[in-house]
Structure 1
Amino acid sequence: VKCSSAGEERTRLEYLRSENAIARGIYNQLGSGIIPFTKSGSWMESHQFIAQPARYKTGYRKSIFLVFPSNYLTISSTVNIYGTQFGTDKIAHFFQQGYTYYKIYNRALAKGFTPEKAARKAVRWGQKTERTFYGTLVSGVYSNADLFSNFVGMKFYQGLTRPVKIGSETKPAVLFLKDGIWTFGENADLRISFIKPFISDHLNEALNPSMFIKGLRSSVRRIVRKQSCQQWHKQYPDLSQADLNQTSEGLKLWYGEDYGFTDSENFVTIANTCFGN
């Protein structure tokens, strides 16, 4: 085996001890794949979990994309993680687009941006892609939940090697450099510290509404009213329109941080579809 020069080996070792190397390593294992698919998302869709049912995907004839058949192919299964229900596509956004946010943020910092402006630059990139090839242009859907997943994905990558502020609390770094080797923090419980702090109802598109193009919007509202409203009323008999509106209103920010939520007067929500007009 031919060895590299001492200088090349030192450069390589320096990189492996860097924060960027850790982020890239995690991305390679969980976020890589052909856009919009990822290793972690594919695993979520295919793994035979012990607890069943582990995933739910509605049939085509009951889906909101009945009049847009090609969109049904992009529908992800719904999972319940840490008590929050959301589509497995959010896992892809978290690990894949979250990593892109992370890189945009770091490049902006290197150019002299403040942390706030660097984060805003990443968010603007996400909004642009959601209007185009990750959202509206392809599927007719602009998802605020996707934007949230991108944003907290960035926070996840930042928090691998540095403390991250989440609301009034500070989440310790997951990994620490000790004697030149990356190690997990003492008494670290990855079930709690790895992704749980970033999972919330912001990922649930029934509560954090999306925008649909005009032709699709009326179809979605009609199908939700026909297929879902009765089930919502049955499962949550005490839930009111005001409660749902309040919940959705509270998802526009994440602990006071702007993740790129875009408001609209034309949202299709459980509140205005199952309780209204």
Structure 2
Amino acid sequence: MYKKFLVSLMLLFTGGAVSGEVDNYYGWGKELKDEKKAFNQYLNVTVTQVLVDQKSKFSTAQCPDVAEWIMRNLGAQRYPLAYRGVLNSDMEIWAQESPLLDRLPAVGVSLDQYALDSIYSPVMRTAGIKTDLDHITNVNGTYIGTDKISHFLGSGYEYYKRYRKAIHSTSPELAQMEAIAWADSMEGGLLGMKVVGVYSYADLEANYQGFLFAKNLCDKPYIKQVDSQWLLTTPIEVENYVNPNWDESFNVSAYSKSRLESVKNNLINLPVCELRNGAWVTMQTEQYRLFDHSPRSKQSDYLNTSFSAQLFYLAQQYKYAPDTLTAEYLHSQFKELNITQSQLVAWARNVSAPLQSDFTLSALCP
């Protein structure tokens, strides 16, 4: 037992791992200023400074190595359970503390009161330790938890690192699937379901978008080498990566049995169920629909924003509703993802991918 505990602690301290939860339903009906300009300024200034500070180290480096170093410095490498009980990147701490950013809970509302008014009332605990819920902010019209910033940067770094290792022996798609499977094990394990009782699909989307950002540092490119100095030559725009699937009230999370019972009990005393068909939520959902990269079935709330989102949606269909999959539909999916049916089946068999429809408000509200 002691040996298993030590292994668990070692995993919690792994670079890029992130733990923290947010209640996006708390933000319903509350207007927040769009802070994408502030987020873009922070990222552009910070990446520029990383390149300046490491000028001599990068002079003979290849671009992917520089990109990985940038992500490592942006990610949650230096905060092992030292700040509010979780692992946070510098940017997340800035987003939660800067007096210049508009966020929820509003000024004057304590984090304890926020917890009491949330679906996770009375308190969220990580491995038995009281952990404050993360704030909510608006980036390009999407309401996100500040925890998603560390997923974007820290787990994005982990994806990119794993992708670079795997790409030497497999296809780009299968290399990505390896990285995504690692994140699924985290959400289904120590950083999600087994510790706080939450499996967050929004975390997984933020992870993947962080990987795309890391890859785009060289592919876009954002950075170039000029006279032996690596420079940020194209401005970073975070709105290219933040999307509605970062919002846990839209891209809903799954819960453990005990967490599900607690959430359902809290919904009886919260206004969430009444608000879900109101004007604010309806308008927000309509705006979110505009982000869909390739609209498909309107039978669910699925929004196709990435390879990862599409992969998880298809995995859920395979696991829970295989009889609904037509040959024509599957052919189009495999062609778009550039994988085979056997590859998807094998991947789906080995990931958690809980069925999201069991955890929508339609299923949970009394």
TM-score interval (norm. to shorter): 0.7 to 0.9
Q: Distance in 2 between matches of 1:122 and 1:134?
A: 16
Quick check: 1:207–1:248 contact (8 Å CA) kept in 2? no
In the alignment, is the contact (CA less than 8 A) between 1:94 and 1:149 conserved in 2? yes
The one of 102, 106, 116 aligned to 1:61: 116
- For residues 226 and 152 of structure 1, what CA distance do their matches in structure 2 show? 35
The one of 264, 273, 281 equivalent to 1:229 is: 273
CA contact (8 A) 2:205 2:308 kept: no
2:319 match: none
Does structure 1 residue 18 correspond to structure 2 residue 109?
A: no
Select the residue among 249, 260, 263 that pairs with 2:301. 249
TM, length-normalised to structure 2 = 0.59
1:48 alignment partner, one of 93, 99, 110: 99
How far, CA to CA, are the matches of 2:158 and 2:282 in structure 1?
A: 41
CA distance in 2, matches of 1:90, 1:256: 16
C-alpha separation in 2, matches of 1:92 and 1:139: 18
State the Cα distance separating 1:86 from its structure 2 match.
Answer: 1.3
Q: CA deviation at 1:143?
A: 0.6
CA distances 1:207-236 after superposition (whole Å, capped 9, x unpaired): 101110112112213323531123344443
3-state SS of paired residue (1:98): helix
Q: Is 1:143 matched up with 2:200?
A: yes
1:97 to 155, 173, 176: 155
Q: Which amino acid aligns with 1:207?
A: F
Q: Secondary structure at the match of 1:138?
A: coil
Q: Indicate the residue corresponding to 2:361 in structure 1.
A: 270
2:241 aligns with 198
Aligned in 2, Cα 1:238/1:106: closer, same or farther, shift over 3 Å? closer
Report the aligned-residue RMSD. Answer: 3.3
Partner in structure 2 of residue 28 of structure 1: 73
Structure 2: distance between partners of 1:94 and 1:203: 10
Deviation at 1:160, TM superposition (A): 0.6
1:126 aligns with 2:183: yes
CA contact 1:67–1:219 (8 Å) conserved in 2: no
For 2:153 and 2:299, how far apart are their aligned partners in 1?
26
Secondary structure at the aligned position of 2:66 is classed as helix
Distance 2:143 2:307 in 1: 20
> CA 1:183–1:63 in structure 2 vs 1: closer, same or farther (change >3 Å)?
same
Moved more, 254-263 or 119-128: 254-263
Are the aligned partners of 1:221 and 1:268 in contact in 2 as well (CA < 8 Å)? no
The amino acid that maps onto 1:251 is L
- Counterpart of 2:355, as a letter, is S
Whole-angstrom distance in 1 between the partners of 2:269 and 2:60:
59
Contact 2:152 2:207 in 1 (8 A): yes
Query: 1:49-88: CA deviations, max 9, x gaps?
Result: 1x6x433266222122225552662421111111100111
CA distance in 1, matches of 2:299, 2:96: 28
Shift of 1:14: 1.5
User: What is the CA-CA distance between 1:30 and the residue it aligns to?
Assistant: 4.7
Gaps of 5+ in 2: 1-54, 81-86, 106-110, 290-296, 314-352
1:149-160 correspondence runs (5 A)? 149-160=206-217
Q: What is the number of equivalent residue pairs in this alignment?
A: 248
Any idea what SS the aligned residue of 1:21 has?
Answer: helix
The residue that corresponds to 1:176 in the other structure is: 224
Relative distance call for 1:21 and 1:77 in structure 2 (3 A) is same
- CA deviations on 1:170-205 (whole Å, 9 max, x unpaired) are xx32112233322333xx4x3xx4321111001000
Q: 1:32 to 1:161 in 2, by over 3 A?
A: same
CA distance in 1, matches of 2:77, 2:300: 31
> Structure 1-normalised TM-score?
0.76
